Structure 1
Amino acid sequence: MNEDTLTNLVARGLVDSVITDFNQYANKLLELKKDRKLPYMSKQEVINELGISDGTLDTWCKQGLQRYKPRYKTSLIYYLIDDVCKFIVLDN
């Protein structure tokens, strides 16, 4: 009987954790997508919106945050808003 109770407590804790992470993700997604027409942000927009440094964003990229660069010759780098939200909320 104690195992069932322990299993239920662990399962409930996991569900609560998933719900909390999803709510954080959804709120950050809404915040970043507010008034945007396109699903991506420039590198500078990510830095400004999240209040992080260029070095922090580079570290995130080394840890798996996907960068997108246009096929034409440019120094511009973009990030999908969904990818940024998943990285900062779900990968903690």
Structure 2
Amino acid sequence: MNDDTLTALVAHGLVDTVITDFNQYASKLLELKKERKLPYISKQDVMKEMDISDGTLDTWCKHGLQRYKPNYNTTKIYYLIDDICKFIVLDN
């Protein structure tokens, strides 16, 4: 096998991986964003819609998922929907 063929095969595999990851990301993004006005989702809604536990979400945060908390006195925690989708798809 010559170098050009090997390079083409590697590049083709990488392109397929990128396309697959993007399609998963886009699909999850559409699912989570349906009928939403804001790009944020509450912690409770993430757990409900993704069917995950509080512990799983905390683990995701320990591995880089960004939390957002309003400046006023509240216990509410929010996440950017885009961040969740990127985290899920790219963390395979």
Matched pairs, number:
92
Which 4+ runs in 1 deviate beyond 3 A? none
**What residue is the counterpart of 2:90 in the other structure?**
90
Deviation at 1:91, TM superposition (A): 2.6
Q: Which residues in structure 2 correspond to 1:1-92 (within 5 Å)? A: 2-92=2-92
How far 1:66 sits from its partner (Å)? 0.1
Q: Deviations over 1:35-92 (max 9, x none)?
A: 1111110000000000000000000000000000000111000000000000001232
Q: TM-score, normalised by structure 1?
A: 0.97
* Counterparts of 1:59 and 1:27, CA distance in 2: 23
* CA RMSD, Structure 1 to Structure 2 (Å): 0.8
TM-score of the superposition, structure 2-length normalised? 0.97
Q: 2-side partners of 1:58 and 1:41: how far apart?
A: 15
